[in-house]
């Protein structure tokens, strides 16, 4: 079986005492997994470890068969840019750039010819329902900004998409639309999805639910 993500004996501890220990976690190519748990339970911390934005204290993390835990920072940046898509609660779009520019910037490390970046960005945005591809993101609605963020996440044809509380700031109806969008985009891109959410109503959407609280080290749990 091909794995998008494989973690073994992962250990992480913050100076204030909060810690995680993941004996084993594997996500198959194209699989959709919900990382459940309340606020402050460690969901975002685990996603940041997977993305290589935090350094683990021990264990292994493989993304697309590459051990990012053992890499230098520059190499982790390269793997993240080419193989991992990120969807944040607040989108994290660049306000002074257009929708297509935000997506095209994600393609800079893709290895695709630079001359194709804008056209691919436009195609992705239109496929996700964003017609005003040349508009600044600040001139778009919150829903349209979410679509830009999803297009950016899948632009490099990632093996794995990490979504951190992507519906937390939305009402129930808008949240359902956003999750439909994220999951459809991942299916069409062939990407696995690891989505962190404290919303128990999301569980029926996923093939598997993993409770992050099983990874909190009891001796340091808050």
Whether residue 3 is predicted with pLDDT greater than 80 in this model: the reply is yes
Q: How far is CA 144 from CA 1, 13, 80, 125, 139, in A?
A: 36, 37, 25, 10, 10
168 inside domain: yes
77 inside domain: yes
| Average pLDDT of the residues in 156-178 | 88
171 inside domain: yes
* Residue 192 confidence class, pLDDT cut points 50, 70, 90: very high
Distance CA 150, CA 195 (A): 13
Which is nearest to 25 in space by CA: 208, 184, 217? 208
Q: What is the pLDDT of residues 10-46, one digit of tens each?
A: 999 887 777 899 999 999 999 999 999 887 788 999 9
Domain that holds residue 202: 30-56+71-210
Distance CA 125, CA 130 (A): 5
Q: According to the model, what pLDDT value does residue 166 have?
A: 87
20 inside domain: no
Contact 19, 222 (CB under 8 A): no
185 inside domain: yes
**CATH value at residue 138:** 3.40.50.300
Contact 156, 86 (CB under 8 A): no
40 inside domain: yes
DSSP class per residue in 14-48: -TTS-EEEEEEEEEETT-EEEEE--TTSSHHHHHH
Helices (H), 36-116: 43-51, 73-83, 99-106
DSSP tally for the chain: helices H, then strands E: 6, 9
Distance CA 7, CA 10 (A): 6
Q: What is the CA radius of gyration of the chain?
A: 17
11 inside domain: no
Q: What is the pLDDT of residues 65-118, one digit of tens each?
A: 999 998 999 899 888 988 999 998 778 899 999 999 999 998 887 777 889 999
Report the domain count for the chain: 1
- Give the β-pairing of 208-211 and 84-87: unpaired
Show the tokens assigned to 130.
């964003």
Q: What is the pLDDT of residues 196-215, one digit of tens each?
A: 998 888 899 998 999 999 99
Backbone angles phi, psi at 139, to 5 degrees: -95, 0
Show the tokens assigned to 55.
């350094």
Q: According to the model, what pLDDT value does residue 135 have?
A: 96
Distance CA 181, CA 183 (A): 6
Contacts of 118 (CB under 8 A, 6+ apart): 100, 101, 104
Q: What b/e string do you get for 167-178 counting C-beta neighbours within 10 Å, with b at 16 or more?
A: beebeeeebeeb
127 inside domain: yes
């Amino acid at each position: 079986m091909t794995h998008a993500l494989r973690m073994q004996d992962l250990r992480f501890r913050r100076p204030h005492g909060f810690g995680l220990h993941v004996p084993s976690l594997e996500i198959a190519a194209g699989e959709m997994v919900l990382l459940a748990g309340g606020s402050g339970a460690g969901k975002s911390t685990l996603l940041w470890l997977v993305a290589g934005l935090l350094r683990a204290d021990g264990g292994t993390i493989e993304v697309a068969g590459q051990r990012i835990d053992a890499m230098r920072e520059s190499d982790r940046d390269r793997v993240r840019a080419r193989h991992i898509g990120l969807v944040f609660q607040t989108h994290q779009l660049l306000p002074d750039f257009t929708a297509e520019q935000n997506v095209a910037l994600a393609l800079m490390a893709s290895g695709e010819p630079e001359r194709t970046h804008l056209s691919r960005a436009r195609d992705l945005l239109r496929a996700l329902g964003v017609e005003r591809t040349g508009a600044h993101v600040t001139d778009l609605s919150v829903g349209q900004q979410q679509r830009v963020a999803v297009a950016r996440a899948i632009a490099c044809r990632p093996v794995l998409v990490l979504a951190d509380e992507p519906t937390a700031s939305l009402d129930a109806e808008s949240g359902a639309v956003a999750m439909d969008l994220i999951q459809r985009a991942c299916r069409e891109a062939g990407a696995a999805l690891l989505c962190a959410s404290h919303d128990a109503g999301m569980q029926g959407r996923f093939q598997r639910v993993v409770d992050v609280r099983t990874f909190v080290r009891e001796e340091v749990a808050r």
